[in-house]
Structure 1
């Protein structure tokens, strides 16, 4: 068996199955994926809690955004997944492991869920699934999760997924819709040695 510490970070992303979900890769050449990416990143609730460095407002910008992420996956610095329902294949949202540092074995995780998929534990199930995978298959030791202060739903998702609250980071995130003002961030993290709150992924 290949040891996880020997697994290259730039190997192709597998599909992850578990918790009633299938995590698939985004396809920048798929019109359906591009349209869903645009809808998710322009949703008012997403914009309330997230301020991307580069705004995505058109289909062309959404496609370029997905192409940029595909390049990051190829470089091994990120792993992005389209959250889908295991049975129907319906897209429910997005989850990504970002800023992977293979030396410190640390990364950050972010996610969003489409309006029609909220209230069903989608984010919690996806977060548990992808974290178990990244510990087992990509040899990470620590995964961090930061959300804007006041985003109570994201706070509950983190805690239910085994991400302990570690403190508050002052002015660590842009204010909604602005790049000239900041807001505080709740920092959560989970270690590979922490208890696993759910079943791991199967391929």
Structure 2
């Protein structure tokens, strides 16, 4: 019964596509999806720049996280997409439209790419797709993106996709592997009225 419920939550997530990618729902009951999520959040480069509130250390934790994200999507709080190659269906990473505020028409976006898929513009192409979906289908007016100070690759992705740098937020993120110390973050944002950049 739980499996059917999770699958129905996943099936409700839209599948934006273009730029050689398709954004799909994560399936908490799929071994491949749970393993891909675990690899992504345990990757040293991810851990260098991100310290989640709830660390995921094993496959059961990955499933639990994916189930929680499916429930958030069902409740309209966020939407988590598995970035896949449009032709092969291979999982390349993750992009999420988070902290959706329907009243203020605002949301935040975050993403990561698996090591073997880096250097191919996956983050930029998926960010353009997610933004187009959020501005169009979700009716969002403002999308925010932040990253730890010094994360130059993420900064380039944001600017390439039309997310303008708006300033530095002091002590906005946890330090690497710590939850008792903080670091600064760059804030980027894009409005629905901003022009959509060309595909990088």
Name which structure has the greater RCO, CA cutoff 8 Å, separation 6+: 1
- 1:63 aligns with 63
Aligned residue pairs total 189
What is the CA–CA distance in structure 2 between the aligned matches of 1:39 and 1:184, rounded to whole Å? Answer: 26
Q: CA deviation at 1:16?
A: 1.2
Q: Distance in 2 between matches of 1:74 and 1:86?
A: 25
Deviations 1:123-174 (A, max 9, x none): 0000001101110001100000000000000000000001000000000000
Instruction: Determine the structure 2 residue equivalent to 1:115.
Output: 115
**What residue number does 1:4 align with?**
none
Tell me if the contact between 1:78 and 1:96 (Cα under 8 Å) persists in the aligned partners. Answer: yes
CA distance in 2, matches of 1:18, 1:34: 25
Separation (CA, whole Å) in 1 of partners of 2:184 and 2:14: 35
Residue matched to 1:136:
136
Query: 2: CA distance between counterparts of 1:107 and 1:92?
Result: 23
Equivalent position of 2:7 in the other structure: none
TM-score after normalising by structure 1: 0.92
Deviation string, structure 1 residues 86-140 (Cα, Å, up to 9, x no partner): 1111100000000000011101000000000000000000000110111000110
Partner of 1:7: none
User: What SS does the aligned partner of 1:23 have?
Assistant: strand
Report the alpha carbon displacement of residue 84 of structure 1 after superposing the two structures with TM.
0.4
Aligned to 1:29: 29
Q: CA deviation at 1:12?
A: 2.5
Equivalences for 1:30-45 in 2 at 5 Å? 30-45=30-45
Q: Tell me the equivalent position of 1:83.
A: 83
8 A Cα contact 1:128 1:198, kept in partner = no
- Give structure 1 stretches of 5+ with no counterpart: 1-10
1:173 equivalenced with 2:173 (yes/no): yes
Partner of 1:6: none
Q: Answer yes or no: is 1:104 the counterpart of 2:104.
A: yes
Q: Name structure 2 gaps, 5 residues minimum.
A: 1-10
**Given the alignment of the two structures, is residue 196 of structure 1 paired with residue 185 of structure 2, yes or no?**
no
User: TM-score by structure 2 length?
Assistant: 0.93
